[in-house]
Chain A
Amino acid sequence: MGHEIIRKEDLNPKDYLMEVEAPMVAKKIKPGQFVILMTHAKGERIPMSVQKAENGNVTMFIRKLGKTSVELYTYKVGDHFENVIGPMGTAVEVKKYGNVAVCSDLVCGHAENYALCKALRQIEGNHVISMQTFPSKEMMYLEDELRGVSDEYYMTLEDGSYGIKGHYRDVLEKMMKEGKIDMVFAGGRTGEYPLLAELTKAYNVPAMVTLRPIMVDATGMCGSCRVFIDGEMKLACIDGPMFDAHKVNFKELLNRVKMFKKQEATALENYNK
Chain B
Amino acid sequence: MLVKLIKNRVPMPELSVEERTKTFNEVPLGYSEEQAINEAKRCLQCKDSPCTKNCPVNVDVNGFIKELAEGNFKEAFLKIKEDNAIPAIAGRVCPQENQCEGACTMGKAGDPINIGKLEAFLGDWARRNGIREEFTIKENGQKVAVIGSGPTGISCAVDLRKHGYKVTVFEALHKAGGVLQYGIPEFRLPKKVVDEELSYLKEIGVDIRLNHIIGQNVSFDELRDEYDAIYIGTGAGAPFFVGIEGEELNGVYSANEFLIRTNLMKAYNPDYDTPLFVGKKVGVIGAGNVAMDSARSALRNGAEVYIIYRRTKGHSPAREEEKRHALEEGIHFMELVSPTKILGENGWVTGIELVKMKLGEPDKSGRPRPEKIEGSEFTMELDTVVEAIGTRPNRLFLRTVPELKTTSRGIIEVDENLKNIGGIYAGGDAISGGATVIQALGEGRKAAKSIHAYLSAQ
Residues of A at the B interface (CB closer than 8 Å) are 24-25, 28, 38-39, 42-45, 67-68, 82-83, 85-88, 216-217, 219-224, 226, 228, 233, 238, 249, 252, 255-256, 258-260, 262-264, 267
Contacts and interface: CB of A to CB of B under 8 A. Distances in A.
Given A216-B265, A238-B395, A255-B250, A222 B274 contact: no
A220 B174 contact: no
Interface of B: 172-174, 182, 211, 213, 216-217, 237-239, 241, 247-251, 253-254, 256-257, 260-261, 264-266, 271-277, 347, 394-396
Contact of A220 (B182, B272, B277, B396): B396
Contacts of A24: 217
B254 A85 contact: no
6 contacts: A24-B217, A28-B217, A44-B265, A44-B273, A82-B174, A86-B216
B272 A221 contact: no
A86 B211 CA distance: 8
A126 B260 CA distance: 43
B265 A220 contact: no
Given A44-B273, A85-B211, A222 B216 contact: no
A267 B173 CA distance: 24
Given A38-B174, A68-B273, A223 B211 contact: no
Contacts of B237: 219-221
A251 to B, nearest CB: 9
B241 A233 contact: yes
Contact of A42 (B239, B253, B264, B272): B272
Contacts of B172: 217, 219
B241 A223 contact: yes
Contacts of A86: 216-217
A260 B239 contact: no
Given A83-B211, A228-B248, A220 B395 contact: yes
A223 B254 contact: yes
A221 B260 contact: yes
B250 A256 contact: yes
B265 A264 contact: no
Residue of B174, B241, B247 most packed against chain A (CB within 10 A): B174
B250 A217 contact: no
B274 A44 contact: yes
A159 to B, nearest CB: 32
Nearest to B183: A221
Contact of B347 (A228, A258, A267): A258
Contacts of A42: 266, 271-273
Contact of B217 (A87, A249, A256, A258): A87
B396 A238 contact: yes
B239 A223 contact: yes
Contacts of B248: 226, 228, 249, 252, 255-256
Contacts of A255: 248-250, 347
A88 B174 contact: no
A267 B276 CA distance: 12
B423 to A, nearest CB: 24
Contacts of A252: 248
A216 B260 contact: yes
Instruction: Kindly name the residue among A24, A43, A217, A258 whose own CB sees the greatest number of chain B CB atoms within 10 A.
Output: A217
Contact of B239 (A28, A38, A222, A249): A222
B257 A224 contact: yes
B217 A45 contact: no
Contacts of A256: 248, 250, 347
Contacts of B238: 220-221, 223
Contacts of A28: 216-217
Contact of A221 (B239, B241, B275): B239
B150 to A, nearest CB: 12
Given A222-B260, A222-B261, 14 more contacts: A24-B217, A43-B273, A45-B274, A82-B174, A85-B174, A85-B211, A216-B261, A217-B172, A219-B172, A221-B239, A221-B260, A222-B239, A226-B248, A263-B277
B407 to A, nearest CB: 18
A136 B188 CA distance: 54
Task: Name the 6 nearest CB pairs between A and B, nearest first.
Answer: A263-B275, A222-B257, A255-B347, A223-B254, A260-B275, A220-B396
Nearest to A88: B216
A216 B257 contact: yes
B275 A267 contact: yes
- Give the most central of A28, A222, A238, A249: most B CB within 10 Å: A222
Contact of A25 (B217, B253, B260, B275): B217
B239 to A, nearest CB: 5
A1 to B, nearest CB: 11
A67 B237 CA distance: 29
Nearest to A260: B275
A258 B250 contact: yes
Given A219-B394, A219-B396, A224-B257, A67 B273 contact: yes
A260 B276 CA distance: 7
B290 to A, nearest CB: 13
A100 to B, nearest CB: 26
A70 to B, nearest CB: 11
A217 B179 CA distance: 13
Nearest to B254: A223
Residue from A228, A233, A255, A258 with most neighbouring chain B CB atoms (10 Å): A255
A226 B250 CA distance: 12
A252 to B, nearest CB: 4
